[in-house]
Amino acid sequence: MDVNQTNGVAPVHADGRQHNHGREHAADPSDQKKGGKNPASGSWRDQDAVNIDHQLLDALTPEVQAIIDQLNGEIEPLRGRLAHAEQQVEDLKGALARHAFLNIPNRVEILHDLDHVISHRESLSMASVLVLLHVANADSVRRKFGRRNLERYLIEFCRRVTDSKHPTDVFGCIGGNDFALILLGADMDQAGQSLAALTDRVLATPIDLAGTQVSVELISGCVELGQVSSVESAISAADQLIAAAG
């Protein structure tokens, strides 16, 4: 085949059929000599590049390549900064969900989890119980031993609860000396047994504060989450039980 020979080529549809717009036009040799467009082939003899499927077949010029390299050099640092910023956002989210000095979820996070359980209790297809825990002698510890020792006292209390609870249960502080423990997959009888075992472990050993052994005084109230309609009603019901016990 003579690659310099220009022949008319009919366009082909996606279904393989050739499309004929009517009479074929004969190629004018004078057009080819002048470097003009061949109406039969629809091509340009003296084109510098041919664009097929929007891709340039000719090699990039050094100038264009230099521009692309420069852009790549600017993009990579931006990607690194973006990844760093995303990590900072995740760290801040984690910090916002944690208590100021206790290694447990804070009020916002634990109430969010409680709301999720209450809102999805039907789809979860399992009973769950909220246990409100009040450290009754925390204010006394604050007055007698000072704020720093109160923090040490509550940190040790939370560590014991965290170590003693079931891995699927959720434990957090709802404010001050009040804590919430969400027992997932437990009815009231099972919650009572779990709470008794947890309390025994938490209260088994006094906490040392400045050489003084202080036992945790704990009051609790349990509410089955299937019987409440909101976070507020669940906490209110458990709080009433604590008030009655106190």
**Any domain includes 23:** no
Looking at residue 232, its pLDDT comes to: 96
Angle at 211 between CA 209 and CA 216, to 5 degrees: 40
> Which helix (H) or strand (E) covers residue 129, if one does?
strand 128-135
CATH number at residue 175: 3.30.70.270
**Any domain includes 34:** no
CA 123 – CA 98 distance, rounded (Å): 28
Looking at residue 136, the DSSP 8-state letter turns out to be T
Residue type, 55: Q
Find the domain containing 163 and state its range. Answer: 107-245
Domain match, 169 and 229 both: yes
Paired tokens of 215: 């036992």
Domain match, 207 and 126 both: yes
Paired tokens of 218: 């704990």
Total tally of structural domains belonging to the chain: 2
Paired tokens of 86: 């995303």
CA 222 – CA 130 distance, rounded (Å): 6
Domain match, 136 and 172 both: yes
Residue type, 165: K
Residue type, 80: G
Domain match, 81 and 189 both: no
Can you name the residues that pair with 222 across neighbouring β-strands? 131
pLDDT tens track of the chain, all 246 residues?
Answer: 444 454 544 544 444 444 454 444 445 544 444 444 454 444 444 444 444 444 554 567 888 888 888 888 888 888 888 887 777 777 666 655 566 668 899 999 999 999 999 998 877 778 999 999 999 999 999 999 999 999 999 999 999 999 999 999 999 999 989 999 999 999 999 999 999 999 999 999 999 998 999 999 999 999 999 999 999 999 999 999 999 986
Looking at residue 159, its pLDDT comes to: 95
Can you name the residues that pair with 212 across neighbouring β-strands? 209
3-state secondary structure of 40: coil
Domain match, 120 and 230 both: yes
Looking at residue 52, its pLDDT comes to: 44
Looking at residue 72, its pLDDT comes to: 82
Residue type, 167: P
Looking at residue 221, its pLDDT comes to: 96
Q: Is the Cα dihedral 166, 220, 160, 90 positive or negative?
A: positive
**Any domain includes 43:** no
Looking at residue 53, its pLDDT comes to: 47
Whose CA is closest to 130, among 202, 220, 193, 243? 220
Looking at residue 96, its pLDDT comes to: 59
Whose CA is closest to 215, among 233, 232, 202, 196? 202
Looking at residue 77, its pLDDT comes to: 82
Paired tokens of 227: 């019987």
Looking at residue 99, its pLDDT comes to: 60
Residue type, 125: S
